[in-house]
Amino acid sequence: MVQMKRLLFNGIPVPKCIDKLAQARIKIWFLSGDKMETTINIGFVCSLLRQGMKQIIITLDSPEIIAAEKGGDKAVISKVSTESVKNQILAEKAQLTASTTDPLALIINGKSLAYALHDDIKSTFLELAVGCASVICCRSSPKQKTLVTRLVKEGTGKTTLAIGDGANDVGMIQEVDIGIRISGVEGMQAVMLSDIAIA
């Protein structure tokens, strides 16, 4: 796990910075290519996730999905997976309206995100996500990062900003209103195609 003292943004500890952004009612979505366990750990270190925050986790690990995958029929897998993600999103959205004022965190992996971004469910997915204090997408592909940022930008009508450091963030950076790139060891593609650069 990353040590807290090393997480600084312009000399300010990242958790404190994120807390200030949250106080300003700025919604933060963490789109990562890392596996779920790693991404959740980073979420806690950065205070995107906090103790006592209810986590809504959307995955495709039910017995029905596993059985369909063993069968190998792509059409069946797609149908079962679509229904599973849709049902999870609808169930959590129903709970959202009846829940307490406790902050919520939505965590979804790339496999599930592929179905959550289908036309018939993406608006409901967005409603659920916007109702959460934090949104974390794990194992996201570059295309999924682009589609998620487009969904947020078009679906909410709000000003969107993205920060990335690598070639896998280029689509996301170009999709938003303000694209910020961090120049470092990940190459220069994101640097060349963004609005603002920071070291």
Per-residue confidence of the chain (199 residues) as pLDDT tens digits?
Answer: 333 334 445 556 777 888 788 778 888 899 999 999 999 999 998 888 988 888 999 999 888 887 888 887 888 888 999 999 999 999 999 887 665 677 889 999 999 999 999 999 999 999 999 999 899 999 999 999 999 999 999 999 999 999 887 778 888 988 999 988 877 665 565 556 667 777 7
- Residue 126 counted as domain residue: yes
* String of DSSP letters for 122-181: HHHHHHHHHTSSEEEEES--HHHHHHHHHHHHHHH----EEEE-SGGGHHHHHHSSEEEE
| Number of domain units in the chain | 1
- Residue 194 counted as domain residue: no
- Residue 173 counted as domain residue: no
- Residue 187 counted as domain residue: no
- Residue 177 counted as domain residue: no
User: Is residue 180 a contact partner of residue 162, using CB atoms and an 8 Å limit?
Assistant: yes
Note the pTM of the prediction, 2 decimals: 0.84
- Residue 176 counted as domain residue: no
- Residue 186 counted as domain residue: no
Neighbours of 51 (CB within 10 A): 5
CATH of the domain at 77: 3.40.50
User: Is residue 70 a contact partner of residue 49, using CB atoms and an 8 Å limit?
Assistant: no
